[in-house]
Structures are given as C-alpha cells and as structure tokens.
Amino acid sequence: MCLSGSVHSRSECLCEHGTQAGWPADSLKWDQKTFPTQGDGAVAHLLYKMIFLTALPLFWIMISASRGGHWGAWMPSSISAFEGTCVSIPCRFDFPDELRPAVVHGVWYFNSPYPKNYPPVVFKSRTQVVHESFQGRSRLLGALGLRNCTLLLSNLSPELGGKYYFRGDLGGYNQYTFSEHSVLDIINTPNIMVPPEVVAGTEVEVSCMVPDNCPEMHPELSWLGHEGLGEPAVLGRLREDEGTWVQVSLLHFVPTREANGYRLGCQASFPNTTLQFEGYASLDVKYPPVIVEMNSSVEAIEGSHVSLLCGADSNPPPLLTWMRDGTVLREAVTESLSLELDEVTPAEDGVYACLAENAYGQDNRTVGLSVMYAPWKPTVNGTVVAVEGETVSILCSTQSNPDPILTIFKEKQILATVIYESELQLELPAIMPEDDGEYWCVAENRYGQRATAFNLSVEFAPVILLESHCAAARDTVQCLCVVKANPEPSVAFELPSRNVTVNETEREFVYSERSGLLLTSILTLRGQAQAPPRVICSSHNLYGTKSLELPFQGAHRLMWAKIGPVGAVVAFAILIAVVCYITQTRRKKNVTESASFPAGDDPPVLFSSDFRISGVPEKYESERRLGSERRLLGLRGEPPELDLSYSHSDLGKRPTKDSYTLTEELAEYAEIRVK
C-alpha cells in the first residue's frame, strides 16, 4: 500500500501482521498456496527483492504512526475490481497528537472532497446515512480509532467507478478532508500482457493479470486457446506497490510464424458463483520473409507479354525487389510484386531473382525466362577458296530457341546435318573439282527457318574433257575444245602442219565462252579441200598445262578412210588438175590486173574470220575481215592454198543456266565453209 501525506513520501509497503495496523490479516499476507517456490527462478527472485525493499519503509511507517504527526492520509491512487464482486480500498490516516479525541469518526465521499458541494456519501460512521447508490454496498473494515479507514464496497456496478475521498471527524472544528484519494475502476475483462515484440523462434512470456482486492471472493485463472503453444503456470496472488493485490498466470512458449495473429484468451472465474470474465489478445509475431508465390520456369514467344509474380509472407511486410544480373528492375514494400515485360526479346532471356527482406531476415528465389524465337540467319566461317586435294572445313552457326536443326545442302543433296545444336561442321577431305559450287546452310525450328548460301571455289589444273573434238561436215571442219579449270585457263589451238598457233585473245579467229568451271573454245575451218590438218588444243593456268590432239569425227573423216591410199592419190591428182585449170583460166582473165588484190575481192588467205558484230553494216564487216586476212598473210612468206574463215555464233539468246543445265548444252558452234 502507498501512503501519502505532508510528512511522509510515497513508498512501497508490505504488512504481514494486519492486526497491528488494523488490516485484516488474510488481506495482507501472501497467498501461501500460490507463493512462488525456488523453481520459479527469476519471478521468485523478483518477489523476494520486493519484500526486502518494502520492509524498511513499512517499519518506518509503523513507527511514525505510533508517534502521531499532522493531518495526512495514505491509500492506493487507483484500484480495480470486477463488476459484481467487491473491493477493499486500503486506507490509513493521521492527525496531530495534541488533539487527543475521545471518539474518531470518518466520512467517505464519492467524486468530491468538499462537503459544501454535497457529494454523495459513501459511508458515514456518525449517522450511517449514505447515498442511495451505496445503500447496503459499503462498510468500514478498519478501526478509525486505530487510524485505519479501509473501505469495503460490495456488489460493484459500473456507476460506482470514480474517485473516493476520506474525511476525518474528531469532533468540533477538528475535521479534515484529505486531498489524497483513490480511483476505483470497474472492469469486466482480464488484462493480458504481451511483450512489445514477439519474434518467431524466440521464447516469449505472456501474462494474464486480474485484480484480487475482494477479501470475500478470489478469482481463478485459466488460459483459452493456448493449445500448441505451451502449458501455463499460475504464479499466484501478488501484492502491488500501492498495497493492492493481483492474481497472475504466466504462459511460456516459442512462437512460430503460424502463430501470428493468433487469438489467445484468459478467463477469470469466481468459485461458487456464475461470474466469469474473459479477455483476449492477438499475437503480433515478427518473422523474416518467406517467398510463398512465384512463377515456375516461364517460356514465352518473342514479342509476347510476360508477367513475373513474386509474393512473400512476413511480418512486418517485406521490401520486394526484382533483379536481373545485379540490376534492380523494380522494388516496393508490399507482400506481392509483379514484373511486367512487354514484347520480350531474346536479350531478355535469362534468370530473374526476387529478393524479400525486412528487419528480421530475408529470402530470395529465382525464375528462368526462356524466350522462344526462330533461328537467326546462319553465319558461315570457313574456307571458301581451296586447292584440289586440300581438306576443307566449313563451320555454320546460328542462334535460336529452341536449338535448331542445321543442315548443309549442295544441289539438293544433304551433306551434313545436326539436331538441336547451334553449330554444324562440314569436313571435305581431299577436295575435288566436283566439290566446287554453291552450298546452302539451313537452320529451322518450330518457330521458323532461315538459310544462308555460300560458294566453295576449288582451284585445279586444266582438264580437257573428252567431248573435245573436231567434226567434219561437207567442206567444213569445226573444232571444239572444252576445258575444265579454276582459275580460268588460257586456251590455244595449234596446227603443227602449218606451224600456226592461235589463242583465245585473237577473237577474230577463236571464240571462247566460260560457264562455271568450263571454258569452251570453238575454231571453224572452211574450204578444207584436202585431208584435215592435225589440231592440238592446249590449256594453261597457274596449276599446270594440259594439251590434247583433237580427234576428228564426221563425213570427211569417213570418206578418207574408205578410199584408202590409192584412192587418195587418184583424188589428189584430179584435185591438182582441177586447181591448175582454174588457175590458168583466172590468169588469162585477169592478165591486166595488178598482182595485189583489189578491195572487195576474196583472195586466198590462210585465215578469214566471219565473226560479225550484230548491228554492224556488212561493208565495214567486210573491210574488217579483209584487214584481218591481210595481217595473217603477212605472217607467211608463201601464198596460202586454203581460205580459212571463222564465224561467230551469237550466244546471248541462250537460256540462263540453272543448277540442272549441263554446260555442254550452252555451247554454240560456228561454221567455216571451204571455197
């Protein structure tokens, strides 16, 4: 009990012998049945310390009361009790010793200390007249002569809550209303005290405390909804620092995150009555975040919309952060945070992390985003020019998701393929001229297809193909030389019997055309009145030289074979006679003409070109041809016997070669007629 007055300061006191101070003995002693034992540890130590600290002030108060003093009163500043029960308000007062009254009276007022205000009388020892609200509810427990003014109020109701003042009446003018008062609080719920911070995984103590200031009724405490938390321990009946009493029950447990928001109750009941009072408290358990909601691996088509969701459970709410490769993409203090990606690209493919954190810890999880897209245009890294016999390695690579099927084609033939890989290596050992050409690298998956073309150029020495030959028809011999080589070779025709060599640069005499790796050169001999001469085709490039005597095919060849040597001599003699006759006839006719040939005639020459340019008048073409023939005549010292003429065939109107057209089909032949 806390006593207050003009001399004594407020202090804690504990009275074990209520009879000495006028207090009921059972209301001042510790409840021996519930007093904490040595096993209660810290709580027992606290109570023993309370007893020690309050013993000295109590001893001093008892000595002061025996000596007397001046006007003063001591009572608890506040006291509480359950509705329907009773309450004992402990009170002591003092007055000067010299007054020595014969009889001591006292009055308790409600809510006002001044009689002139006519406050409600709670108790009056002189007349027993009280306010109607307190009739049958109030009585004095202490002996006023012993300066004990303890008041008992029964059958409490809410309207009785308020301030209570005591006035001492020693007779005559010796009356004094003490300013010290006690505030009565009428309650109907137990008080559950939860620590200000409850952390998951850390042991916590929750207490239920109810007033126990009614000497006639003592409460019993029990816990409601504590299953799974722990077993309660009833500490007992304890005295507070101002002399009031409380019943306390403790509940020890280790909370989990699931206990957050749990409603824990305490019930106070009074035996042999129907009075029961319940109070509840919600547990505010603090715990670190745990990510409870997140996308699994996400697949999205390039250009689509993607939403990544992250939700965390924590108390207090966490700071959620979306990150990728250490870069913060979005963050907010919330329990759920989404990351919106519009028109995703392959560059956004990767791993995304969600981080949740608060003051008690953190958690993080990741999700993979796979952006599906068609293959990119393949790239080819490798040899594009190689020499015959070398090994060629070509690498074709691309990028796609999922990985593509890669295939290398040449002329619709599959050379190599891999499935679900981004690279394809093509090895061509001992490369041959047949490997020259256009290749395709094709990449495809279920989202699309892309292809890249590349050319492989094989360089090799000239090869004169077997289709090269000379053909004779009537008075014309036509020679065809087909050469396959890379790089482009030079081609020359040799006539050993006439000691003449003509190469392709002399376009007045040789026409050449290249198609792919094939070079076709055409020479036409006209006016061939005797056995055809030998013709040798020679081709050369930086890798070598190849020569071939062109075989003859056709009518002239068959004719010379049939008549044999004798027939050949006879035919030759007849031919000489005819030539002599024609020569003599011409000499007689042109006896007056100059030895030189006039313009416009066709003198016998070794070579004569009928190669014409489209659109050029015949006059200029004849002059050009005549000039060419005269240049050739200047190369020889004797008159020629044959008139050789070359003709050009226009190949410009031939159809364009495709991958299925043979080179031979493009060749055009010119005729040379023998005059």
Q: Which amino acid belongs to residue 82?
A: F
pLDDT: which is higher, 611 or 164: 164
379-418: b or e for each residue (b if 16 or more CB lie within 10 Å)?
A: ebebeeebebeeebebebbbebbebbbbbbbbeeeebbeb
Two tokens at 651? 């190949």
* Residues 156, 213: Cα–Cα separation, whole Å: 12
Side by side, the strands of the sheet bearing 162-169 are 78-82, 175-187, 162-169, 105-110, 121-124
Q: Where residue 496 falls among pLDDT bands split at 50, 70, 90? A: confident
Two tokens at 352? 């995304």
Contact assessment for residue 83 and residue 161, using Cβ atoms and an 8 Å cutoff: no
Q: What is the pLDDT of residue 31?
A: 40
Contact assessment for residue 99 and residue 174, using Cβ atoms and an 8 Å cutoff: yes
Q: What is the pLDDT of residue 111?
A: 92
Q: Where residue 243 falls among pLDDT bands split at 50, 70, 90? A: confident
Kindly provide the residue ranges of all beta strands, DSSP E only, lying in 373-447, ordered along the sequence: 379-382, 385-387, 392-397, 405-410, 413-419, 423-428, 437-445
Assess whether pLDDT exceeds 80 at residue 272: yes
pLDDT tens for each residue of 14-25: 232 233 333 333
* Residues 581, 569: Cα–Cα separation, whole Å: 18
All residues at 6 or more sequence positions from 622 whose CB lies less than 8 Å from its CB, including other chains: 600
Considering the chain, what is the average pLDDT of its residues?
Answer: 77
Q: What is the pLDDT of residue 586?
A: 65
Nearest one of 464, 474, 583 to 529, comparing CA atoms: 474
* Residues 229, 221: Cα–Cα separation, whole Å: 17
Nearest one of 96, 91, 118, 116 to 106, comparing CA atoms: 91
Cβ neighbour number for residue 77 with a 10 Å cutoff: 13
pLDDT: which is higher, 636 or 181: 181
Q: Tell whether the torsion through CA atoms of 27, 33, 34 and 39 is positive or negative.
A: positive
List, as one string, the DSSP characters of 524-584: EEE---SSPPP-EEEEEETTEEEEEEPPEEEHHHHHHHHHHHHHHHHHHHHHHHHHHHHHH
Cβ neighbour number for residue 288 with a 10 Å cutoff: 21
Q: What is the pLDDT of residue 569?
A: 65
Mean pLDDT of 490-503: 84
All residues at 6 or more sequence positions from 436 whose CB lies less than 8 Å from its CB, including other chains: 456, 457, 458, 486, 517
pLDDT tens for each residue of 84-108: 999 999 999 998 888 888 889 999 9
* Residues 122, 110: Cα–Cα separation, whole Å: 6
Q: What is the pLDDT of residue 39?
A: 37
Q: What is the pLDDT of residue 314?
A: 95
* Residues 416, 436: Cα–Cα separation, whole Å: 16
Percent of the chain with pLDDT over 70: 71
pLDDT tens for each residue of 401-430: 999 999 999 988 999 999 999 999 999 999
Q: What is the distance in angstroms between the CA of the first residue and the CA of the last residue of the chain?
A: 157
Domains, the chain, ranges and CATH?
A: 72-187 (2.60.40.10), 191-283 (2.60.40.10), 289-370 (2.60.40.10), 379-459 (2.60.40.10), 465-553 (2.60.40.10)
Mean pLDDT of 557-583: 64
Contact assessment for residue 113 and residue 178, using Cβ atoms and an 8 Å cutoff: yes
Contact assessment for residue 321 and residue 338, using Cβ atoms and an 8 Å cutoff: no
